[in-house]
C-alpha cells in the first residue's frame, strides 16, 4: 500500500497548493513538491516562470486561481500563458515574437510617389501604380511624410486660376 507523503516544505517556502510550493533564494526560484525540488529558474526569467506555471495548470498540479493567488499575477496573464502552452508547448514561450512586417512607405517608395505626383499624376492613380491603397497615400500626405500636389476638389478654383479683376469700378 502506498504511503501518504506529508506536505512538509523547506523553511521560507510559499505554498501554491497543499502539495506544491516555491522558494526564492539567491536570485533563483525553486518549486517543490514536498521536500523534493521539481524545477528551478532565474528570478528575473519571466518566460520560464510563465512556462512552468502553465505546465502546473495544464498537468493538474495547480489551478489558475492558485497561481494568481500565490504569485500576485493577473488572471488574464495566466490564461494567456496556459493558452500558449496548450497550443505551442514549451517552445511557444521561447519563440521569437511575431512583429509587423516592413512598412509599406519605404524611402524609395516615397521618392517614386513624390516624382509621380510632381509629374501631374493624381493621388489615386499614383497609389495604384505603386500597389498602394489610395488611403495610405492620403494619410501620408496629411501627416507630411509625402510631399506632392494636392488634387483640388471638383468645382473649386485654385489660387492662381482666378479670373483677373477689372480695375476701376
For 156, the grid coordinates are: 473649386
The answer to the question of residue 160 being in a domain is no
Q: How many separate domains does the chain show?
A: 2
Mapped onto helix, strand or coil, the DSSP state of residue 46 is helix
Same domain, 73 and 110: no
Instruction: Check whether residue 82 and residue 24 sit in a common domain.
Output: yes
- Give the C-alpha separation, 80 to 58, whole Å: 12
Q: Do 87 and 18 share a domain, yes or no?
A: yes
Residue 154 maps to a domain = no
Q: What is the pLDDT of residues 4-33, one digit of tens each?
A: 656 677 788 999 999 999 999 999 999 999
Query: Does 128 map to a domain?
Result: yes
Instruction: Categorize the per-residue pLDDT at 35 as very low, low, confident or very high, splitting at 50, 70 and 90.
Output: confident
Residue 120 lies in a domain: yes
Closest CA relative to residue 45, chosen from 68, 24, 60? 24
Residues 109 and 83 in one domain: no
**How buried is residue 6: exposed, middle or buried, by Cβ count under 10 Å (0-12/13-18/19+)?**
exposed
141 located within any domain: yes
Per the structure, the complete domain to which residue 20 belongs is given by 14-93
Residue 78 lies in a domain: yes
Regarding whether 86 and 26 lie in a shared domain, the answer is yes
Residue-wise pLDDT for 66-101, tens only, equals 999 999 999 999 999 999 999 999 999 999 887 665
Question: 112 and 132: one domain?
Answer: yes
Asked if the model's pLDDT at residue 40 lies above 60, the reply is yes
* Same domain flag for 28 and 70: yes
Check whether residue 84 and residue 133 sit in a common domain. no
Whether 20 and 87 share a structural domain: yes
- Fill in the DSSP letter of residue 32: E
Q: Would you state the pLDDT for residue 2? A: 67
Amino acid at each position: 500500500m502506498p504511503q501518504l507523503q506529508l506536505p512538509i516544505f523547506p523553511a521560507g517556502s510559499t505554498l501554491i497548493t497543499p502539495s506544491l510550493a516555491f522558494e526564492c533564494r539567491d536570485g533563483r526560484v525553486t518549486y517543490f513538491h514536498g521536500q523534493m525540488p521539481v524545477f528551478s529558474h532565474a528570478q528575473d526569467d519571466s518566460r520560464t516562470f510563465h512556462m512552468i506555471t502553465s505546465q502546473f495548470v495544464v498537468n493538474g498540479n495547480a489551478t489558475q486561481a492558485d497561481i494568481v493567488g500565490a504569485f500576485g499575477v493577473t488572471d488574464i496573464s495566466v490564461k494567456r500563458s496556459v493558452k500558449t502552452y496548450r497550443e505551442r508547448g514549451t517552445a511557444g514561450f521561447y519563440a521569437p515574437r511575431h512583429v509587423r512586417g516592413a512598412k509599406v512607405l519605404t524611402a524609395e517608395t516615397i521618392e517614386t510617389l513624390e516624382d509621380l505626383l510632381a509629374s501631374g499624376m493624381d493621388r489615386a492613380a499614383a497609389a495604384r501604380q505603386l500597389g498602394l491603397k489610395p488611403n495610405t497615400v492620403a494619410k501620408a500626405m496629411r501627416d507630411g511624410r509625402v510631399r506632392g500636389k494636392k488634387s483640388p476638389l471638383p468645382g473649386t478654383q485654385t489660387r492662381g486660376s482666378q479670373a483677373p479683376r477689372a480695375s476701376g469700378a
